[in-house]
């Protein structure tokens, strides 16, 4: 089930609640963008191919590289 609401600053929030999946939301600049995203995400859920991308979308390149440098695997590769 998709709910689309207008929020402050003229943006739109699409919220998807589907049985067996965590509630998922995204904020878009236009209502059309929110509807399109919700339609695609819900379709992916039905097909079992949905991947939550929220964490990846918020991560910066600096944070990703720092995480890579902090891992033991990269140290082993660099030592070889």
CB 5 within 8 A of CB 28: no
Q: Which pTM does this prediction carry?
A: 0.64
Q: How far apart are CA 23 and CA 3, in angstroms?
A: 11
Q: Are 1 and 10 in contact (CB under 8 A)?
A: no
pLDDT in tens, 20-69: 888 999 999 999 999 999 999 999 988 888 877 766 677 788 887 888 77
Would you call 13 helix, strand, or coil by DSSP?
A: strand
User: Looking at residue 54, what is its pLDDT?
Assistant: 67
Sequence-distant (6+) residues with CB within 8 A of 44 are 50, 51
């Amino acid at each position: 089930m998709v709910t689309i609401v207008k929020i402050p600053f003229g943006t739109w929030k699409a919220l998807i609640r589907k049985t067996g999946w965590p509630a998922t939301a995204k904020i878009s600049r236009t209502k059309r963008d929110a509807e399109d995203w919700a339609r695609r995400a819900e379709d992916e859920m039905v097909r079992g191919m949905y991947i939550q991308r929220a964490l990846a979308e918020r991560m910066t390149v600096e944070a990703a590289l720092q995480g890579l440098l902090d891992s033991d695997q990269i140290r082993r590769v660099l030592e070889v």
